[in-house]
Amino acid sequence: MTGQISLTSTASCTGLRAVAEHTGEAVGERELARRVGHLTVLIQAMAAHLVAAHWTSADLDLLASGKSLDGRALPSKGWMALRRLGWAAAAPDGVAVCDRLRRCAEEEAARTLRLALHRRRILAALVATWPEQPGKRSQVEWTALRAVLPDGVSPVEIRNRTRQIRAWAEAHGVALPGDLVEVEDPPQVAAQALLAAADRQLTTLERTGEQSAVLRVQLPLVAAPASRRDWAWHALPFTLPPIIAAEAVLCAPTLRSAAHRVRLDLPHRSPITHPSPAGHTTGLGLDWGVNTLLTGALARLTDTSAGPRVLSDGRRLRYDASAVSAKLHRLRQVREHVAARRDHYEALLAGLAAPQPLWAELQSKHAVLVTEHARICARLRQLNRALAWSAARWAVDQARALGASVIYLEDLATLEARGKRSGNARLAGQVRGLVAEAIAHLAAREGIAVVAVPARGTSKYCPRCGSGTQPLKHVAAPDRMRESGWKWAACTSCGLSCDRDHAAAERIAARGLLSQTRVRTDRHTGRRTVTIAVEGNVARARRRTPRPTPPRAVVGRPAVRADRAKTGPTPKRPAAASPGVSRRVPDRRAVPAPPSGGQCPAGQAPQNHPHPGARSGPAHGFPNPQHDRTGFHRVRASPVLALGDFGAGADRPRHARNVRFIQTHSGNQRR
């Protein structure tokens, strides 16, 4: 059903100055960050103490039950739920805080504990269905695990929790843990102030213009305020990012201090059109890849006398992030190396005492490695986030330009690798879950539906024939059909020869368009998934060959004699053989073009080049930084071209060109 709903997003803003209302003092950037830091540290201390006090199996069971001790249901707001359970936050000794500040601490603790309940359900499901070989589950074991797991759990999270359980069991000599509190220590609490839990007694927010707003909040003047005189109201003006529309409704922000600056994570609600999961005739199918992060194909659903038919125009849309993936892979290798050295120094420090002469030197080196490891992890998170939002923006722009009303993605829950899992190990590092969330968020702004399609068999079967039963032959390249590979797909039945990811994208689009009546929508998350896949073939659309129109004869004017110069083919100079350009859309060769001549240039002997795979290099086929130049860290993406009649004289779709890898604005984050 299509209707108006409210989309909640979060934009990051910066507070550069403030005014203390009780004295009229202008507070600069550094002093404002210091006072906000005092506020967040107080809330962090109270929330951490509350989480540690209730990090027990009995308290987690009580919170998971959803009912208080008197049988009443717990409210959805975290601070209300904790107060109904009798879990109140206490201020440190000698520190004066208001009740609204304790609310913020209780809200932070409630969110932390509820996230722990999610990890607890995952751990309980893994322990209940523990396989004989945890590193390689069978299809029956995967089915049993999915039946007890919560919805939306990715294979990466399953793999990480499995490794966590195995490491704990090996360290303690016990078969399996009983609860999450045995495996994990009390989780850490972030230094932030969730002002959404407070009211006008602590903070107010007012919009003063289309791109400006003012936040009034009480801040402590000292680190440990002893009385109410150590608190003061501050007016903090800030600029709204362009992503926040003029009609958006602003909500209470989250305050935090980062790099001597005050950051405001500002939620805002915007009205959007809720797309329907069915009734679509044009869809964009996206396939996950290794080097090519996303490969897309456009498909149309038509009605014929024989039933529904899926047509594709043959265009291959790709978002190639090989250069950025190489940089991410290099940073992961550096991170693992630094982490190994850090752990080595930790083991050395565990066997030494402070009076020994080497202790101070090892402690200094260990501190340097800890800082370096944190910086590398922050850099990885930044690149992954930028790559995810850039790919999502490209996918939504392609769907909007091509007139697609729905985007079909492979279901991440069904993408668990089998066998060696070498390919999906690299895919897991590309934060596919973040890309899927970003696509869903940006598509909702444009009124485009996003549906997850089962990934089983999308790359295995031919999209042209067999209705999902004709297997494809995977080879290295179209001119090396006898050589095994994974990049190129060929069908021995219908003669299809195309990129493997392109064939999978067409299969995904066809599977989604034909399965519109079998889409299930999760009531809690709003995620849409195809429950039962309907298979069908994809027909390739053809374009009429343009023919030149003969000139009209004008009455009363003598006809102009055509030029008889011998510029065309003659018996001694016949026409060259046609290069075999396909009439299918678009106007490109279906396979790489053959060389212009069959002979080598004069004076040059043919050379036998070694196979590229024989050259030694880093793992997973990434370029070797000592021998290969990756150039600038940019992505290669298909340009966004709208559909049109590419007749005589019109511009044709061009090949993919280099585009800048732009780190997207943080306002695209989803709450």
- Count of structural domains within the chain: 2
> In this structure, is residue 561 part of a structural domain?
no
> Is the per-residue pLDDT at 600 higher than 70?
no
Average pLDDT over residues 11-39: 93
Indicate if 445 and 304 belong to the same structural domain. yes
DSSP symbols for 404-453: -SEEEEE-GGG----TT-HHHHHHHTT-HHHHHHHHHHHHHHHT-EEEEE
Q: What are the pLDDT digits (tens) for 609-633?
A: 444 443 333 333 334 444 444 444 5
Indicate if 292 and 154 belong to the same structural domain. no
Indicate if 165 and 287 belong to the same structural domain. no
Indicate if 175 and 295 belong to the same structural domain. no
Indicate if 162 and 299 belong to the same structural domain. no
Q: Give me Rg for the CA atoms of the chain.
A: 31
Average pLDDT over residues 21-28: 92
Among the candidates 183, 207, 230, a domain finishes at 183
8 A C-beta contact, residue 401 and residue 292: no
For 271, the 3-state DSSP assignment is strand
How confident is the model at residue 593, as a pLDDT?
Answer: 45
Q: What letters, b where the CB count within 10 A reaches 16 and e where it falls short, cover 225-258? A: beeeebbbbbbbebebbebbeeebebbbbbbbbe
Distance CA 383, CA 430 (A): 10
Band of the pLDDT at 496, cuts 50, 70, 90? confident
Indicate if 148 and 288 belong to the same structural domain. no
Average pLDDT over residues 482-496: 85
Q: What are the pLDDT digits (tens) for 141-199?
A: 888 998 999 877 877 788 889 999 999 998 888 888 989 999 999 999 999 999 999 99
Among the candidates 518, 544, 570, a domain finishes at 544
> In this structure, is residue 164 part of a structural domain?
yes
Burial status of residue 96 (CB atoms within 10 A of its CB: 0-12, 13-18, 19 or more): middle
Give the other-Cβ count within 10 Å of 317's Cβ: 26
Nearest residue to 645 (alpha-carbon basis) of 586, 591, 581, 567: 586
The 3-class secondary structure across 141-200, one letter per residue, is HHHHHHHHCCCCCCHHHHHHHHHHHHHHHHHHCCCCCCCHHHHCCCCCCCCCEEHHHCCC
Band of the pLDDT at 494, cuts 50, 70, 90? confident
Indicate if 60 and 172 belong to the same structural domain. yes
How confident is the model at residue 651, as a pLDDT?
Answer: 52
Which residues span the domain enclosing 498? 282-308+382-544
> In this structure, is residue 163 part of a structural domain?
yes
Q: What letters, b where the CB count within 10 A reaches 16 and e where it falls short, cover 585-606? A: bbebeeeeeeeeeeeeeeeeee
> In this structure, is residue 636 part of a structural domain?
no
> In this structure, is residue 112 part of a structural domain?
yes
> Is the per-residue pLDDT at 388 higher than 70?
yes
Round the average pLDDT of the chain to a whole number and report it.
82
Average pLDDT over residues 658-671: 46
Bridging pattern class, strands 18-20 and 231-239: antiparallel
> Is the per-residue pLDDT at 83 higher than 90?
yes
How confident is the model at residue 550, as a pLDDT?
Answer: 67
Bridging pattern class, strands 449-453 and 406-410: parallel
Place of tokens 């294979």: 155
Start-to-end CA span in the chain (Å): 24
Among the candidates 544, 560, 587, a domain finishes at 544
What tokens appear for 6 in the block?
Answer: 């409210």
> In this structure, is residue 315 part of a structural domain?
no
How confident is the model at residue 630, as a pLDDT?
Answer: 40
Indicate if 291 and 153 belong to the same structural domain. no
Residue with the larger pLDDT of the pair 438 and 646: 438
> Is the per-residue pLDDT at 135 higher than 70?
yes
What tokens appear for 248 in the block?
Answer: 């958006």
Indicate if 297 and 444 belong to the same structural domain. yes
8 A C-beta contact, residue 160 and residue 122: no
Per-residue DSSP letter, 471: B
> In this structure, is residue 120 part of a structural domain?
yes
Please state, in angstroms and as integers, the Cα–Cα distance from residue 585 to each residue in 194, 542, 641, 649, following that order.
Answer: 54, 6, 14, 16
Indicate if 523 and 399 belong to the same structural domain. yes
What tokens appear for 497 in the block?
Answer: 């020869």
The 3-class secondary structure across 214-237, one letter per residue, is EEEEEEECCCCCCCHHHEEEEEEE
Per-residue DSSP letter, 522: -
CATH number, residue 396: 3.30.420
How confident is the model at residue 598, as a pLDDT?
Answer: 47
> In this structure, is residue 328 part of a structural domain?
no
